Amino acid sequence: MFDVIIAGCGPTGAVLAAELRLHDVRVLVLEKETEPESFARIVGLHVRSLELLAMRGLLDRIRERGRQRPAGSYFAASDKPAPESLDSAYAYLLGIPQPVIVQLLEEHAATLGAEVRRGDAVTGLDQDDDGVTVELAGGEKLRARYLVGCDGGHSTVRKLLGVGFPGEPARNETLMGEMAAENVTTVGDRRVSIRPVGAGVYRVVVPAEGISDEPPTIEDFRGRLRALAGTDFGVHSPRWMSRFGDATRLAERYRVGRVLLAGDAAHIHPPIGGQGLNLGIQDAFNLGWKLAAQIRGWAPDTLLDTYQAERHPVAEDVLDNTRAQTELLAAGPGPQAVRRLFTRLMDFDEVNHYLTEKITATGIRYDFGAGPGLLGRRMPDIEVKQGNLYRLLHRGRGLLLDRTEHLTTGAWSDRVDQLTDPAAALDAPCVLLRPDGHVAWIGDDQRDLDAHLTLWFGKPVGTP
């Protein structure tokens, strides 16, 4: 019997598996595809995802395989520079081929001890008070204490659960691919994008003529380019081609008993702003330590419920901002007038900062009650006596950063680390960090700290 079975070995599933293995949870990842994707679609890792990867010591390895671009506001494809007030040591966009990031994350999970099986599709599930029975396409049945569906927008797990997936169906589709081109000139139509990716190959994005279930052809690209840009730029020899729609949907629930949803299984939206992969990775970092705590037996009663309470509103906000961006990119005179107004407003640093935080997920504040402005927010990677803060989060545990020199984690030291550093670059006496880097408590009183350690990390060792 496994502790957790994860359906889907994309970035969300791989990160979740690794997070669980940090806490010695026995994990099986089932991936229905026998081989990873072969086409090298470029995806972008935004600031918050880069921070989370740095917290686990993964960023240097991933950064070697990607290409950094200057930080900027990518809201509705704007070309504004990043706001000066963006507070992060990782204020850039990292472009990386999706197969590469999937491979690196899967290798990381496997190195930590996760078992990955390819060519196994989930076709059935049945849960009871003690666990979940998972049925595979070949008839094999497996047993686990929990099941997590990370199996994409057409999630089998979500459908088997009967969880509603309300929202809007696709109204428009977009063609995207990488291909050679011979006569690239300036494009006058904002809806058409043709950008070099190296060696005479270009990434082409163009609106499709309609909705279709068929994969696109090179003739589809040529026809749409001629119709909208007046030329097909001599495109040929595609590396890969795909189409995506603007469907926007959000699962009504992220948890039903012992089965949970994460990533695209829980939410889909247009790829405007490049938030989808990032949203899924961040789901996994939020869920991983909580599910591990539940399995290890020290989770407070309501801890696992905070996964939906925290991440569902974040997804709602992402869906709303992609809806807004879609309208701003529409071709009509009304949307274009609003777009021009938005462009001028983004010259104000406050507006640019607000919209950039929407894309980069650095503005998220979970509701931990009243308190200082940092409470519930991500902790930046500040300087401490050991170099930088995120190095201390590699093990996926909580962290007490104490500038007072008189506080302690005490009986919670088996799940919360401590750094006493009076000179830390922190405008607070002490902070308690969750494993995902969010600030769970700020103060200088040991009793108050103990209460919050209990709230987030359960009863202390030795307590019945």
CATH number at residue 65: 3.50.50.60
Query: DSSP per residue over 156-223, as a string?
Result: HHHHHHT----EE--S-EEEEEEEE-S-------TT-EEEEEETTEEEEEEE-SS--SSPP-HHHHHH
pLDDT given for residue 185 in this prediction:
81
Instruction: Give the CA distances from residue 209 to residues 136, 214, 325, 446, in Å, rounded to whole numbers and listed in that order.
Output: 38, 13, 20, 64
Phi-psi region of 401 (alpha: psi -120 to 50; beta: other; left: phi over 0): beta
Location of structure tokens 């929990």: 146
Q: pLDDT tens digits, residue range 82-99?
A: 888 888 999 999 999 889
Residues of the chain with pLDDT under 70: 38-40, 462, 464
- Say if residue 226 is in the same domain as residue 272: no
- Say if residue 204 is in the same domain as residue 332: no
- Say if residue 154 is in the same domain as residue 78: yes
Question: 146 lies in which domain range?
Answer: 2-166+249-359
Q: pLDDT tens digits, residue range 247-294?
A: 999 999 999 999 999 999 999 998 888 899 999 999 999 999 999 999
Examine residue 375 and state whether it is found in any structural domain, yes or no.
Answer: no
- Say if residue 34 is in the same domain as residue 139: yes
- Say if residue 187 is in the same domain as residue 323: no
Location of structure tokens 């990775």: 281
Residue at a domain's end among 245, 274, 292: 245
pLDDT given for residue 122 in this prediction:
97
Q: pLDDT tens digits, residue range 16-53?
A: 999 999 999 999 999 999 887 766 677 899 999 999 99
Residue from 353, 280, 348 nearest 19 by CA: 280
pLDDT given for residue 228 in this prediction:
92
- Say if residue 50 is in the same domain as residue 131: yes
Examine residue 366 and state whether it is found in any structural domain, yes or no.
Answer: no
Residue from 43, 39, 36 nearest 281 by CA: 43
- Say if residue 136 is in the same domain as residue 177: no
In this prediction the pTM is 0.92
Examine residue 372 and state whether it is found in any structural domain, yes or no.
Answer: no
Residue at a domain's end among 226, 245, 264: 245
The number of CA neighbours under 13 Å toward the Cβ of 397 is: 18
What is the number of structural domains in the chain? 3
Residue from 220, 296, 290 nearest 260 by CA: 290
Location of structure tokens 């960023």: 59
- Say if residue 150 is in the same domain as residue 268: yes
Examine residue 378 and state whether it is found in any structural domain, yes or no.
Answer: no
Residue from 37, 12, 22 nearest 106 by CA: 12
Examine residue 369 and state whether it is found in any structural domain, yes or no.
Answer: no
pLDDT given for residue 332 in this prediction:
86
- Say if residue 160 is in the same domain as residue 70: yes
- Say if residue 152 is in the same domain as residue 108: yes
Q: What percent of the chain has pLDDT over 70?
A: 98
